[in-house]
């Protein structure tokens, strides 16, 4: 398989990741009535870490100080992103939360430029601008966007952590770290941080949750598909797709989220949201077709 074909398959893997994450919005909706946000983070990443450890048990012997350090930082960024996003959503609307989170699409090339001395091509900024505009139309819909509150600030911080997570993952790949080991360790560390903070933020563990079949299936979906498989695809994809472009593919999660919400939750797709979907799709086409060979 040549380099171009590998990049195409890696890009498709990132789009698949976005689709699974998009459907996760539907899965999570009912589960939050039974499981606290921090416990949900701890449970999903525990399942993901254990799943990868079982599948790739032979690679565990490759874990050394370097992998522990790199995986620990990756896990910290991952955990902080989910933590502040969830807290922020408690103080602002879901639409503003979704829109402001995707600021990472712009932050990645901006942070990566001085950090790695790699100036993105002009079309990346054009595509990122289109993508951000599209996500804004898609997520905000008819919401009132006036005013800034603590939830908005926390959500912007979430976007920063997501950007740092993607950039650090790319750094791990460039330094020759084992992708599967890094993915496994980031899950383990994110789960560890979650189990420490969950009792303080969510209270006692919700025993009833693990006795509810629908919640159990939801946690398995989030742990195995939305976490274990998707983040593995993301980390592998980042080995072959530039991080600034990968973020555009991953931002397609918003499109899939609206699509699945419309189908399964019977939510209305307005004209403004449809235009947003079209802009995001256009951004991805521009990013893919004009990228440097």
pLDDT, tens digit only, all 293 positions of the chain:
677 788 888 889 999 998 998 888 778 777 777 888 899 899 999 999 999 999 999 899 889 999 999 999 999 999 999 888 777 776 765 556 666 777 777 777 778 777 777 777 777 788 788 878 877 776 666 554 455 678 778 878 988 998 899 889 888 888 888 888 999 999 999 999 999 999 999 999 888 777 888 889 999 999 999 999 998 888 788 778 877 678 778 878 877 877 887 788 776 777 887 887 788 778 777 765 665 54
* Alpha carbon distances (Å) from 200 to 29, 38, 196, 239: 23, 10, 8, 37
- At residue 293, the pLDDT reads 45
DSSP code at position 121:
P
- 289, burial (CB in 10 Å: exposed 0-12, middle 13-18, buried 19+): exposed
Return the SS3 of 178.
coil
* Global confidence as pTM: 0.81
- At residue 229, the pLDDT reads 92
Residues 6+ positions from 173 with CB-CB distance below 8 Å = 179, 235, 238, 239
- At residue 139, the pLDDT reads 62
- At residue 182, the pLDDT reads 92
- At residue 281, the pLDDT reads 77
- At residue 95, the pLDDT reads 59
- At residue 97, the pLDDT reads 67
Residues 6+ positions from 187 with CB-CB distance below 8 Å = 45, 46, 48, 49, 52, 75, 227, 228, 231
């Amino acid at each position: 398989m040549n380099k171009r074909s590998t990049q195409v398959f890696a890009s498709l893997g990132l789009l698949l990741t976005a689709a699974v994450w998009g459907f996760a919005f539907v899965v999570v909706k009912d589960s939050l009535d039974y499981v606290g946000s921090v416990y949900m983070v701890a449970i999903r990443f525990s399942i993901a870490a254990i799943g990868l450890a079982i599948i790739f048990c032979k690679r565990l012997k490759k874990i050394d100080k370097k992998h522990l350090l790199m995986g620990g930082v990756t896990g910290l960024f991952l955990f902080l992103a989910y933590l502040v996003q969830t807290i922020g959503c408690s103080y602002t609307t879901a639409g503003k939360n979704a829109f402001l989170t995707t600021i990472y699409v712009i932050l990645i090339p901006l942070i990566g430029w001085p950090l790695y001395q790699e100036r993105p091509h002009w079309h990346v900024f054009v595509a990122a601008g289109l993508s951000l505009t599209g996500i804004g139309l898609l997520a905000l819909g008819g919401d009132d966007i006036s005013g800034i509150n603590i939830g908005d600030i926390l959500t912007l911080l979430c976007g920063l952590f997501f950007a740092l997570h993607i950039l650090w993952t790319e750094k791990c790949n460039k330094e020759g770290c084992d992708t599967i080991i890094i993915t496994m360790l980031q899950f383990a560390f994110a789960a560890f941080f979650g189990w420490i903070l969950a009792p303080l933020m969510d209270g006692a563990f919700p025993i009833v949750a693990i006795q509810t079949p629908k919640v159990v299936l939801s946690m398995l979906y989030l742990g195995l598909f939305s976490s274990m498989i998707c983040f593995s695809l993301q980390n592998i994809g980042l080995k072959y797709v530039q991080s600034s472009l990968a973020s555009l593919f991953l931002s397609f999660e918003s499109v899939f989220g609206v699509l699945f919400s419309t189908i399964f939750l019977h939510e209305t797709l307005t004209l403004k949201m449809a235009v947003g979907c079209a802009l995001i799709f256009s951004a991805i086409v521009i990013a893919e077709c004009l990228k440097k060979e």
